[in-house]
Chain A
Amino acid sequence: MLESRVNRLALWFLAPTAVVLLLVVAYPFIYNVGMSFTNWNMYHFRDPSFNGLANYFKLFQEPEFKNIFLRTFLWTGVNLVFHVTLGLGAALLLNQRLPGRPLYRALLILPWAMPQYISALTWRGMFNLEYGAVNLLLAKFGIDAVPWLSGEWTAFAAATLTNIWLGFPFIMVVALGGLQSIPVELYEAARIDGAGPIRRFFSITLPMLRPVLTPAIVLGTIWTFNNLNVIWLVTKQGEPADKSHILVTFVYKAAFTYYRYGYAAAFSVFIFLTLFGIVKIYQRSQAEEAF
């Protein structure tokens, strides 16, 4: 009897969220899939018609498609490697008894605390050819000014550096929380058994951190893969000449600059399925290794 009373209550608790999510997440999602099979664009704004899989074929014939696709993977991979190494490294350093530890920690969280668009716009200014701090610093080391924002790869590198800066504190905070929950006795036992610091790191620290790091890395992958802000703002909408896009920024531009609605909808579906596949593969590999 108690059980059923609790259950009825829970249903009421769920209802508002369910209504909101159905209306503003599920319905638009289905709407988007529907749109992806139409020729809805600025020429057919009032009379879109069904065109089957045409948008999906067009997507793969996009001349830049391969580059954008590969660049997105490069973007996600490079960012993730740096986020994890810097974040985990910082956490290991901070996990020792050190004077000034809270101050270090607060200063290192700053990039996460700042609103992303402000960081991105500020970094864009720092990559300015003549007056940007990056080139001025390089000049101190006798390196010639790099026209960061006008080359496709340098613009991409600039955005990547910005995003590395943005993302490492998240992993750091997660890892720090994880490190503090590892019982000290484990290390002591290992030390008595004669395990060196490297051995201790790989046999104790890493495995113990895994349950904390895995979800953080999955979330980090998703956020990076779909990060619209950084590329859009640092490269100013994909400059030079739309050559620095990743998948999401490319779609955003197709939808809201070129009004290619049906096409953008199909592209969104493609991005979602790609990401979904990656996450599933990653989770499966993690689950297998765990056994």
Chain B
Amino acid sequence: MRGRWLAKTWNHVWIHVLLWLLVLFAVYPVLQIVNISLRPGDQLYTTDLSLIPANATFDAYRAILFDKPFPTWIRNSLLVSLSTALIGVSLASLAGYAFSRMRFKARGVALQGILVTQMFPATMLLLPLYMIMRKVGLVDTLLGVVIAYAATALPFCVWTMKGYYDTIPVDLEEAALIDGASPLVAFVRVTLPLSAPALVITGLFSFMTGWSEFIVARVMLPSAELHTLPLGLESLASSYQTEWANYAAGSVLVCIPVVVLFLVLSRYLVSGLTLGGVKG
């Protein structure tokens, strides 16, 4: 008996050791950013590895909030991300429903097509979109970026919604129809409320597309006053010297809301993916 207990504890110790090693790997870079953001100006380049720097200060936070166009970046990013999320959720919740409930001719092809769009390299759509938007005057406007982001996020959102609707029994809607509800009412009153987790994930996903996208924004938004957070922070990170602390402070501020959201919602994260799977 005693021997088995010992073996079991020993096993647990090993599991904790392994998990701690992984956690160290996962968390260390995050601690790095926090550490840099708290460093006083004369200690930016240091060979010290301690977690909280000596003479820690919030100077960088003050600098980024009041001396940098950080508020403008936030405004632009919020505008872009919220619009993307709105488009993503509203269109995908409708289209996903059609794919889940309806059998029409091009259904299989369309579903495959949506998956295939995930394989496009970024340049495949970005380059022509850039050319097209130049022609119609949407380069260097936030609207142009929103359109590009919606196009990126939509296929994944539709797929997630479809996967989730698949798990909701059709009987519930049929019962509503038999009770005399119109199909639209059945959808809005029965199916949509049941799909709350998927709607939230779709919203989060499309919001994050806008909130953290760098490559498209870099091409589409040359003017400084339209810069989104990623562009702004990148400019701080690539400039020399003192901006490193400002970059870190800005990053911490940008990360906190999305990381919190992400952790709160993490248990819904893969429901669409795992349940929807690859089944047609």
Per-position binary interface string of chain A over residues 90-110, scored 1 when its CB falls under 8 Å from any chain B CB and 0 otherwise: 100110101000001111111
Q: Nearest chain B CB to A172's CB is how many angstroms away?
A: 9
Q: Nearest chain B CB to A111's CB is how many angstroms away?
A: 5
Complex interface: chain B residues within 8 A of A173 (CB):
266, 269-270
A14 contacts B98, C-beta separation under 8 Å: yes
A10 at the interface (CB under 8 A from B): yes
A28 contacts B123, C-beta separation under 8 Å: no
B58 at the interface (CB under 8 A from A): no
Measured in the bound complex, the distance between the Cα atoms of B101 and A135 in whole Å is 56
Complex interface: chain A residues within 8 A of B99 (CB):
14
B251 contacts A29, C-beta separation under 8 Å: no
A115-B230, A118-B233 given as contacts; is B97 within 8 A of A265 (CB)? no
Q: Nearest chain B CB to A85's CB is how many angstroms away?
A: 11
- Write the chain B residue with the least CB distance to A223: B118
A133 contacts B151, C-beta separation under 8 Å: no
A86 at the interface (CB under 8 A from B): yes
Interface with A: B64-72, B126-134, B194-202, which one?
A: B126-134
A133 contacts B255, C-beta separation under 8 Å: no
Complex interface: chain A residues within 8 A of B262 (CB):
109, 112-113
B168 at the interface (CB under 8 A from A): no
A122-B29, A165-B29, A268-B121 given as contacts; is B258 within 8 A of A115 (CB)? yes
Using a Cβ cutoff of 8 Å, how many contacts connect chains A and B?
A: 258
Q: Nearest chain A CB to B85's CB is how many angstroms away?
A: 15
A24 contacts B102, C-beta separation under 8 Å: no
A13 contacts B255, C-beta separation under 8 Å: no
A17-B158, A115-B255 given as contacts; is B125 within 8 A of A272 (CB)? no
B278 at the interface (CB under 8 A from A): yes
A21 contacts B98, C-beta separation under 8 Å: no
Q: Nearest chain A CB to B262's CB is how many angstroms away?
A: 4
Per-position binary interface string of chain A over residues 19-43, scored 1 when its CB falls under 8 Å from any chain B CB and 0 otherwise: 0110011011101100100000000
A17-B91, A109-B266, A169-B26 given as contacts; is B274 within 8 A of A177 (CB)? yes
Interface with B: A151-159, A188-196, A246-254, which one?
A: A246-254
A142 at the interface (CB under 8 A from B): no
B154 contacts A28, C-beta separation under 8 Å: no
A17-B95, A122-B251, A215-B277 given as contacts; is B26 within 8 A of A108 (CB)? yes
B15 contacts A96, C-beta separation under 8 Å: yes
Interface residues in B38-87 (C-beta closer than 8 Å to A): 45-47, 49, 87
Interface with B: A58-66, A73-81, A199-207, A224-232, which one?
A: A224-232
Complex interface: chain B residues within 8 A of A141 (CB):
none
Complex interface: chain B residues within 8 A of A215 (CB):
273-274, 277-278
B143 at the interface (CB under 8 A from A): no
B36 contacts A28, C-beta separation under 8 Å: no
Measured in the bound complex, the distance between the Cα atoms of B114 and A107 in whole Å is 33
Complex interface: chain A residues within 8 A of B147 (CB):
24
Complex interface: chain B residues within 8 A of A146 (CB):
none
B258 contacts A219, C-beta separation under 8 Å: no
Contact of B151 among A20, A107, A112 (CB under 8 A): A20
Return the 3 tightest CB-CB contacts between A and B, nearest first.
Answer: A115-B212, A17-B95, A10-B102
List 18 other contacts, CB 8 Å, given A17-B92, A119-B29, A177-B270.
Answer: A9-B183, A10-B101, A14-B95, A20-B87, A35-B127, A106-B263, A107-B23, A115-B258, A125-B32, A133-B49, A173-B266, A177-B271, A215-B277, A219-B273, A248-B121, A251-B123, A268-B121, A275-B119
Interface residues of B (CB under 8 A from A): 12, 15-16, 18-19, 22-23, 25-30, 32-33, 36, 45-47, 49, 87, 90-92, 94-95, 97-99, 101-102, 104, 114, 116-129, 131-132, 147-148, 150-151, 154-155, 158, 177, 182-184, 187, 208, 211-212, 214-215, 218-219, 230, 233-234, 237-238, 244, 247-248, 251, 254-255, 258-259, 262-263, 266, 269-271, 273-274, 277-278
Mind listing 29 A-B residue pairs with CB under 8 Å?
Answer: A14-B95, A14-B98, A24-B148, A25-B155, A28-B132, A35-B131, A86-B22, A98-B15, A109-B262, A111-B26, A114-B30, A115-B211, A115-B258, A117-B230, A118-B212, A118-B255, A130-B47, A131-B47, A165-B25, A215-B278, A219-B118, A226-B121, A252-B122, A252-B215, A256-B218, A256-B219, A261-B127, A269-B124, A272-B124
